[in-house]
Structure 1
Amino acid sequence: MTYGIGNTSLVRAKKLEDYFNIDELYLKLEGENPTGTHKDRLAIQHVDDALIRGYETITVGSCGNYGVAMSFVANKTELDCKIFIPKKYTSNEIDRIKSYGAEIFRVEGGYEESVDESRRMAEKKGWYDANPGKKNTPISLIAYTEISKEIQEELGSSPKTVSVAVGNGTTIAGLHLGFRLLWRKKRAEDIPKMLAGSSMGNNAIVETIRRNSKDILEMDPDSLDETEVNEPLLNWRALDGQEAINAIYDTGGTAIGLSDEEIIHYKELLEKENISLIPCSSSALGATHKYLQDYETDGVHVVVITSGVKDV
Structure 2
Amino acid sequence: MSSLATAQRSLADPEVRHPLWPPLTAGCPVTSTDEVAYPLDIDYAYDRVPAGLFERPAAHGLERWAPLLPPLAAPGLGEGNTPLVALPDGVYVKDESRNPTWSHKDRLNRVAVSAAKASGAQGIVVSSSGNHAAAAAAYAARAGLPCAVFTSPFAPPAVASHLRAYGATVLTVPLASVRTLMLRIVDELGFQSVSSVTDTAHTGHPFGPEGYKTIAYEIFLDLGRRAPAAVYLPTGYGELLFGVTKGFQELARLGLTRTVPRMYSCEPAAAGALAEAVRTGRPTARVPVGPTAAYAIDCEITGHRGVVALRESRGAALTVTDEQMAGAQAELAAQGLWQELSAAAGLAGLRAHGAPEADGPVVCVATSSGYKDSTTATAAFAPMDPDWPAIKARLVR
Interval containing the TM-score (normalised by the shorter chain): 0.7 to 0.9
Counterpart for residue 284 of structure 1: 346
For each residue in 1:212-234, what CA deviation from the matched residue of structure 2 results, as whole angstroms up to 9, or x when unmatched? 42422122xxx31233x221111
**Superposed counterparts of 1:111-130, under 5 Å:** 114=178, 117-130=181-194
Q: 2: CA distance between counterparts of 1:187 and 1:116?
A: 45
Aligned equivalents of 1:116 and 1:233: distance in 2?
Answer: 23
Deviation string, structure 1 residues 135-159 (Cα, Å, up to 9, x no partner): 723x122111011111111111010
TM-score by structure 2 length?
A: 0.69
Higher-helix-fraction structure = 1
| Structure 2 stretches lacking a partner, 5+ long | 1-74, 197-201, 371-397
Indicate yes or no: 2:76 matched with 1:6.
no
Aligned equivalents of 1:118, 1:39: Cα separation in 2 = 20
Quote the residue 2:222 is aligned against: 154
CA RMSD of aligned residues (A): 1.9
Matched, 1:263 2:332: no
CA–CA distance in structure 2, aligned partners of residues 215 and 179 of structure 1: 22
Largest Rg, 1 or 2: 2
Give matches, 1:70-85, under 5 Å: 70-85=136-151
Determine the C-alpha separation between the residues in 1 that align with 2:215 and 2:186: 29
Aligned counterparts, 1:21-170, within 5 A = 24-109=90-175, 114=178, 117-132=181-196, 133-134=202-203, 136-137=205-206, 139-155=207-223, 156-170=225-239
Unaligned runs of 5+ in 1: 18-23
Cross-structure match for 2:42: none
Mapped pair 1:196 → 2:258: no
Within the candidate set 244, 248, 255, 2:306 is matched to 244
1:307 aligns with 2:364: no
Q: Secondary structure at the match of 1:275?
A: coil
Residues 119 and 186 of structure 1, relative CA distance in 2, 3 Å threshold: farther
Confirm or deny that 1:225 pairs with 2:270.
no
SS of structure 2 residue aligned to 1:136: coil
Tell me if the contact between 1:57 and 1:128 (Cα under 8 Å) persists in the aligned partners: yes
Q: Percent identity?
A: 24
1:88, CA displacement in angstroms? 4.1
Give the secondary structure class of the aligned counterpart of 1:302.
strand
Runs of 4+ in 1 over 3 A off after TM superposition: 87-90, 113-117, 132-135
| Whole-angstrom distance in 2 between the partners of 1:186 and 1:52 | 32
Q: Which has the higher contact order (CA 8 A, sep 6+)?
A: 1
User: Is 2:181 the partner of 1:181?
Assistant: no
Distance, in Å, in 2 between the alignment partners of 1:145 and 1:4 is: 16
Is the 8 Å Cα contact of residues 163 and 303 (structure 1) preserved in structure 2?
A: yes
Distance in 1 (alpha carbons) for counterparts of 2:122 and 2:367: 29
Deviations 1:5-44 (A, max 9, x none): 1111111112xx1xxxxxx311111000011100111111
Alpha-carbon distance in 1 for matches of 2:233, 2:142: 28
Compared CA separation, residues 277 and 115, structure 1 to 2 (3 A): farther
